[in-house]
Structure 1
């Protein structure tokens, strides 16, 4: 199910999602690395990444055994952050 971008951007937790997007703006990274950088629980970061992915703002890809997240072209064209 696709999440509405307005709900993701204007909803509760946006500040956390914004920090995640700022980290991803520096290049692809794992949820674990994001959780360590933000000092948040891994499951919290995964929750926010899932919302961002369902809204089309973030994509994930496999690199070996690692799952990397990066910002999508949609986010770049929308200039949300």
Structure 2
């Protein structure tokens, strides 16, 4: 349930015109340490959706902070010790 609550909160802050897949890929590409993302895809439409993520506008600092807050609230205590 915790993960589903986090997803619902992330959906609420997903920038307009961006799918959740694109949001996730764009988010990871916002970090300087990440040089590429290698997502999976079964259909050509998924490849197209994944491919366009790097061309989208950067995620705002406010939204990045909101993602961090959602992580801190729902996820951090369950997984962060494994990083």
TM-score interval, smaller chain: 0.3 to 0.5
Give the TM-score normalised by the residue count of structure 2. Answer: 0.36
Rg comparison, structure with higher value? 2
